[in-house]
Amino acid sequence: MPLLEVRDLARRFGGVSAVDGIDLDFDEGELVSVIGPNGAGKTTLFNLISGHDRPDAGSIRFAGREIAGLRAERIAALGIARTFQHGRVFANLSVRDNVLIGAHTRLVPVRRAALPLIGPAIELLLALLPTRGVADQQRALDREVAALLALFGERLVPRLDEPAFSLSYANRRRLEIARALMLDPRLLLLDEPTAGMNESETAEMLRLIRQLKQSGRSILLIEHKLELVMQLSDRVVVMADGAKIAEGPPDKVRNDPAVIEAYLGHRAVGETAPPVAVESRA
Amino acid sequence: MTSWIDYTVNGLIIGNIYLLLAVGLALIFGVSHLINFAHGSIYTVGAYIGWSCIHYLHTPLPVTIAIVLAGCALLGMAIERVGLRPLAGSARIAPLLATIGISFVLDQLVQLIFSPDPRALPNPLPDWRLHVGSGTIGALDLLIAAIGLGSAALLFVFLRFTKLGWAVRATAQDRDAARQMGVDTDAVNRTVFAIAAALGGLSGLLVGMYYNHIDPAMSFQATLKGVVAQVIGGMGNVPGAVFGSLLLGLIESYGVGLFGSSYRNLFAFVLLLVILVLRPNGLFASSRQTPPEPLTGTFIAPSRPFRVPRAMIVGVTVACLALPLLPNIAYLLQTMTNVWLYAILALSLTLVAGTVGQISLGHAGLLAIGAYASALLALDLGIPVGLAIVAAGLITALLGTALILPAFRLRGHYVSIATLGIGEIVGLVILNWESLTRGPIGVGGIPPLELGDIALDSPARSYWVALVVLIGLALLQMRLLRSHLGRTFRAIRDDDIAARAHGIGLDRYKRLAFAIGGFAAGISGAITAHLYSYINYETFTSQISILALTMVILGGMGNVLGAIVGAAALIGLPELFRATAEYRMLIYGVTLLLLIRFRPQGFFGTV
């Protein structure tokens, strides 16, 4: 059974179909990239999977369970974490607190307090008077934060107690990934993790994503830098105008005329243009 | 039958007066996404300019109208210059708070110049009435209708067919694009404020003539009515504002006809809430449409909180606890008791507005609930005072959260409008629910503070009660901020979408925050009730809500210590200088303006 199974997914804004009948299968441990020109509907697809938007039609099954139209917080609790295209860190929270938010669904006071009405009261009580279990978990989480941030070398560790608004753009993107990993997700959605990064930062991000893949993470990636996509992906899905126009291993997709046309706009060039043209466009 | 026609005519006339306010608010919101809370003050100023013309210069009506239009247009441009333009690029709620500050300043200036007493504004029109069926229509009715609908028509022509009108519409659609195409957006703003203010001032003059009565306190209600009419039609929608105003006028008028005049405002605010909950984009927008602007970003300036040394906090706390031991300071103790009670309110608001980012403009409503709950529990059920105060806190937590619940799906400005409406509704329900609250008479003879058999009503003991409760709540809140809940609350404030992506259910935590805040505010109101021994529906006015927000901003949003220092500064200092009430409000307004402009992170910084 695939980890994620998307069928006939559609979302319209006014008269425009941002996502138009997408099918997608995704197995545990895979790394699949979604590419396509701007406005192809990639981020909308992510928003639908993560529950930040509701589909007009179609189904999304995650680990055998229908999640289309569920609220974002429910979907996160089921094990899908995401980052955002333009970077959304909690500006006034420290780096440590930002990452700890990722562990929210795992917290003892939150898990103990699922009951309606009385639940929030229990959560408040456990916040004000932490039991031994709560305190132990907090210490364990602090160690986990340290281990996670070590993935990024010396980028974030020295800034543990700095507010996120003081971080550089690239560091905010890294922080976002650390926060998503803290959820220990079964599926990680990365929306353009290297946007705005220079070459060496991109190479660093490539190494990190490869490391995550090797440790068994299932990753769905939106990325414009095709070189990175070609190196990392097990499979590539190409979207244009809300529809899937190609899917397959990187090498095959790279030479697909439909893909080249979608990127360059007309077939005549696409057929004769060398594959490099795709990359230079990106 | 008579009454039905008269109520309809009356509703339409009032509707036309609201129209003059609402189209101005809609224009301003359209180009700058700002709810101009100074609009009612312009209306008051317009009424007083008109009164001065008629009283001192004996000008004929057309000249009076021209002077009012010109004077208020100038005032509008000044407000744009002071309240809006310097704040371009700051958090979106900043200009809104600035207009609140400006309205404080304008209202108090009017009050200082003309005295708080109401004045008569005679209607110079001939006294004839036209009989329609069994009702009548007077000359002034016709004039107001003509001016209201005429202005709407003129505005339509202006927006549709003049070059400047096009620039206004272009700016409303996309300010940056308009600027790139060479539109002078500052000039557009200025024009819009001038037109909006001129119409608002005219509205004040007409309403003064209609009721033959003006007073400086009339501005707040005018702002609210304009905002309600605008929300009905959809924020920034000028034709919608016209429709919303007439509808509001009619509904109020029929409501008064059916239930009596004390229900007038209740109808307006319940309508506001219903619209906000069911159709937050107004009657004319489709309900699934997302708001035109995301309206995210509260008034949170990035800042590093300033850490006060622990020894200093402990030292000052001990000094405050020891204060009553000094001789002959009953007056100081009373002032400081008041400071501590306000500080508890500020603690509550700094949690809701600062930590969770839900800028509440109706916090005085929570005080009122707590005060009435405790007073009535003690008086009618004979519950001991100490127990009644705690019960009042719990009741306020439950009731306050239940009231705000429908507003949780709203964001940004809409939360502020909704809380403002809820605050007003609390006062109006207290006024009208006579069997429970004794209505307009108020509740007297509330038993003084006591715990068991120990009387706590001496100045020193009252002071200690307030201070000890404050210290206890402040310690709890600090602990809360350090726990996972503090982190969760602040994450919701900084970015609610990212918070949801990590499994944080917004409603649950907003409810929790309002419940905790409601408890603190309820306790503060309850203690106040037992200290005053008499309360009525006007004891806790919306001015207190704004004052509490000023304290919170002054101290630093979400900052516990800041809230206490903010309360001490705003209540204690004016008392120390023996400022009279009018000057005090003036000081608050100016403080709010200066803070937002120069130190949005407050004394101690955002936590």
Q: What is the spatial distance between Cα A90 and Cα A99, in angstroms, rounded to a whole number? A: 10
pLDDT tier for residue B599 given thresholds of 50, 70 and 90: confident
For residues A57 and A147, membership in a common domain is answered with no
pLDDT tier for residue B71 given thresholds of 50, 70 and 90: very high
Query: pLDDT at residue A75 above 80?
Result: yes
Q: What is the spatial distance between Cα B512 and Cα B509, in angstroms, rounded to a whole number? A: 5
- pLDDT the model gives residue B287: 42
Lowest model confidence (mean pLDDT) among A205-214, B56-65, B584-593: B584-593
Q: How much is the mean pLDDT over chain A?
A: 89
A91 and B495 within 8 Å at the Cβ level: the answer is yes
The DSSP element (H or E) to which B228 belongs, if any, is helix B219-233
Query: pLDDT at residue B519 above 90?
Result: yes
Tell me what percent of the residues of chain B surpass a pLDDT of 90: 48
For residues A178 and A275, membership in a common domain is answered with no
Nearest to A104 among B303, B493, B503 (CB): B503
Burial B425-441 (b: 16+ CB within 10 A, else e): bbbbbbbbeeeebbeee
Chain A contact for B288, CB < 8 A? Answer: no
A71 and B484 within 8 Å at the Cβ level: the answer is no
For residues A107 and A169, membership in a common domain is answered with yes
Count CB neighbours of B176 within 10 A.
9
Query: pLDDT at residue B294 above 70?
Result: no
Q: In 3D, which of A68, A76, A78 has the Cα closest to residue A5? A: A68
pLDDT tier for residue B509 given thresholds of 50, 70 and 90: very high
Compute and round to an integer the Cα radius of gyration of chain A: 20
Q: For residue A48, give how far its alpha carbon lies from the nearest alpha carbon of chain B (Å).
A: 12
- pLDDT the model gives residue A271: 46
B504 and A104 within 8 Å at the Cβ level: the answer is yes
What values do phi and psi take at B593, rounded to 5?
A: -60, -50
For residues A67 and A85, membership in a common domain is answered with no
Q: What is the spatial distance between Cα B9 and Cα B130, in angstroms, rounded to a whole number? A: 12
Q: Which chain B residues have a beta carbon less than 8 Å from that of A92?
A: 300, 302-303, 490, 493-494, 606-607
Chain A contact for B484, CB < 8 A? Answer: yes
What values do phi and psi take at B225, rounded to 5?
A: -65, -40
Q: What is the spatial distance between Cα B418 and Cα B295, in angstroms, rounded to a whole number? A: 14
A73 and B500 within 8 Å at the Cβ level: the answer is yes
Identical fold at B2-125+140-278 and B332-598? yes
Q: In 3D, which of B492, B465, B446, B510 has the Cα closest to residue B344? A: B465
Q: Return the ∠ at Cα B144 (arms to B138 and B148), rounded to 5°.
A: 150
Residue A193 covered by a domain: yes
Q: What is the spatial distance between Cα B197 and Cα B103, in angstroms, rounded to a whole number? A: 13
- pLDDT the model gives residue B181: 87
Q: Is B182 helix (H, G, I), strand (E, B) or coil?
A: coil
Q: What is the spatial distance between Cα A203 and Cα A129, in angstroms, rounded to a whole number? A: 46
Query: pLDDT at residue B590 above 60?
Result: yes
Count CB neighbours of B174 within 10 A.
11
Mean pLDDT of A221-248: 92
Chain A contact for B499, CB < 8 A? Answer: yes
Between 1.10.3470, 2.60.40, 3.30.70, 1.10.10, what CATH number should domain B332-598 receive? 1.10.3470
Q: Return the ∠ at Cα A272 (arms to A268 and A275), rounded to 5°.
A: 120
Mean pLDDT of B252-270: 85
- pLDDT the model gives residue B340: 96
Q: Position A208: which residue type?
A: L
Q: Position B326: which residue type?
A: L
Chain B contact for A130, CB < 8 A? Answer: yes
Mean pLDDT of B558-573: 92
Q: Which chain B residues have a beta carbon less than 8 Å from that of A127?
A: 479-480, 483-486
Q: Which chain A residues have a beta carbon less than 8 Å from that of B479?
A: 127-128
**Is residue A118 exposed (0-12), middle (13-18) or buried (19+ Cβ within 10 Å)?**
exposed
B500 and A165 within 8 Å at the Cβ level: the answer is no
Nearest CA in chain A to B483: A127
For residues A137 and A188, membership in a common domain is answered with yes
- Secondary structure in 3-state letters for chain A: CCCEEEEEEEEEECCEEEEEEEEEEECCCCEEEEECCCCCCHHHHHHHHHCCCCCCEEEEEECCEECCCCCHHHHHHHCEEECCCCCCCCCCCEHHHHHHHCCHHHCHHHHCCCCCCHHHHHHHHHHHCCCHHHHHHHHHHHHHHHHHHHCCCCCCHHHCCCEHHHCCHHHHHHHHHHHHHHCCCCEEEEECCCCCCCHHHHHHHHHHHHHHHHCCCCEEEECCCHHHHHHHCCEEEEEECCEEEEEECHHHHHCCHHHHHHHHCCHHHHHHCCCHHHHHHC
Q: How far is CA B355 from CA B201, B296, B486, B532, B553, in A?
A: 38, 15, 8, 31, 12
Mean pLDDT of A205-215: 94
A73 and B503 within 8 Å at the Cβ level: the answer is yes
Candidates B484, B493, B497: best to mutate against A (most CBs of A within 10 A) is B484
pLDDT tier for residue A265 given thresholds of 50, 70 and 90: low
Nearest to B491 among A90, A105, A165 (CB): A90
Residue A73 covered by a domain: yes
pLDDT tier for residue B205 given thresholds of 50, 70 and 90: very high
Q: In 3D, which of B300, B317, B296, B298 has the Cα closest to residue B478? A: B317
Mean pLDDT of A76-92: 91
Q: For residue B498, give how far its alpha carbon lies from the nearest alpha carbon of chain A (Å).
A: 6
Sequence-ordered list of residues with C-beta below 8 angstroms from that of B359, at least 6 positions apart, any chain: B93, B298, B299, B353, B415, B416, B419, B549
B502 and A102 within 8 Å at the Cβ level: the answer is yes
- pLDDT the model gives residue B134: 66
Q: Is B130 helix (H, G, I), strand (E, B) or coil?
A: strand
For residues A165 and A262, membership in a common domain is answered with no
Q: What is the spatial distance between Cα B312 and Cα B318, in angstroms, rounded to a whole number? A: 10
Q: Position B308: which residue type?
A: V
A81 and B501 within 8 Å at the Cβ level: the answer is yes
With a CB-CB cutoff of 8 Å, which residues 161-190 of chain A face chain B?
163, 165, 179-180, 183
Chain A contact for B500, CB < 8 A? Answer: yes
Nearest to A124 among B303, B485, B502 (CB): B485
Q: What is the spatial distance between Cα B24 and Cα B46, in angstroms, rounded to a whole number? A: 14
Q: Return the ∠ at Cα B185 (arms to B181 and B191), rounded to 5°.
A: 130
Chain A contact for B232, CB < 8 A? Answer: no
- pLDDT the model gives residue B471: 97
pLDDT tier for residue B574 given thresholds of 50, 70 and 90: confident
Query: pLDDT at residue B183 above 80?
Result: yes
Cβ-Cβ contacts under 8 Å between A and B: the total is 107
Tell me what percent of the residues of chain A surpass a pLDDT of 90: 71
Q: Is B563 helix (H, G, I), strand (E, B) or coil?
A: helix
Give the domain ranges of chain B: 2-125+140-278, 332-598
Q: What is the spatial distance between Cα B220 and Cα B208, in angstroms, rounded to a whole number? A: 15
Q: Which chain A residues have a beta carbon less than 8 Å from that of B483?
A: 127-128, 130
- pLDDT the model gives residue B425: 92
Q: Return the ∠ at Cα B502 (arms to A63 and B481), rounded to 5°.
A: 150
Q: How much is the mean pLDDT over chain B?
A: 88
Q: For residue A78, give how far its alpha carbon lies from the nearest alpha carbon of chain B (Å).
A: 9
Residue A256 belongs to what domain range?
251-282
What values do phi and psi take at B299, rounded to 5?
A: -85, 65
Residue A226 covered by a domain: no
Q: Which chain B residues have a beta carbon less than 8 Å from that of A90?
A: 490-491, 494-495, 498-499
A127 and B485 within 8 Å at the Cβ level: the answer is yes
Q: Which chain A residues have a beta carbon less than 8 Å from that of B494?
A: 89-93
For residues A211 and A92, membership in a common domain is answered with yes
For residues A84 and A63, membership in a common domain is answered with no
Query: pLDDT at residue B182 above 60?
Result: yes
Query: pLDDT at residue B236 above 50?
Result: yes
With a CB-CB cutoff of 8 Å, which residues 182-201 of chain B face chain A?
none
- Contact A149/A156 with Cβ under 8 angstroms? yes
What values do phi and psi take at B532, rounded to 5?
A: -75, -30
A241: left (phi over 0), alpha (psi -120 to 50) or beta: left
A73 and B483 within 8 Å at the Cβ level: the answer is no
Query: pLDDT at residue B127 above 80?
Result: no
- pLDDT the model gives residue B2: 56
Query: What pTM value is reported for the model?
Result: 0.89
For residues A159 and A204, membership in a common domain is answered with yes
- As for how many domains chain A has, the answer is 3
For residues A116 and A128, membership in a common domain is answered with yes
For residues A148 and A74, membership in a common domain is answered with no
Q: What is the spatial distance between Cα B506 and Cα B405, in angstroms, rounded to a whole number? A: 12
Nearest CA in chain A to B303: A92
As a whole number of Å, the end-to-end CA separation of chain B is 61
Mean pLDDT of B301-321: 87
Chain A contact for B483, CB < 8 A? Answer: yes
Nearest to A101 among B497, B502, B506 (CB): B502
- pLDDT the model gives residue B300: 61
Q: In 3D, which of B196, B214, B208 has the Cα closest to residue B151? A: B196
Mean pLDDT of A208-235: 93
pLDDT digit string, tens, across residues A148-157:
999 998 999 9
Per the structure block, which two tokens stand in for A236? Answer: 């590539």
CA B522, B523, B525, B529 torsion: positive or negative?
positive
* Paired residues of A16 in beta bridges: A13
Residue A13 covered by a domain: yes
pLDDT tier for residue A282 given thresholds of 50, 70 and 90: very low
Query: pLDDT at residue A266 above 70?
Result: no
Mean pLDDT of A220-234: 92
> Longest C-alpha distance within chain B, in Å?
79
For residues A106 and A195, membership in a common domain is answered with yes
Mean pLDDT of A124-143: 93
Q: How far is CA A57 from CA A20, A54, A60, A72, A250, in A?
A: 9, 9, 10, 17, 29
CATH number, position A176: 3.40.50.300
CATH-assigned architecture of domain B2-125+140-278: Orthogonal Bundle (1.10)
Q: For residue B399, give how far its alpha carbon lies from the nearest alpha carbon of chain A (Å).
A: 14
Mean pLDDT of B222-241: 88
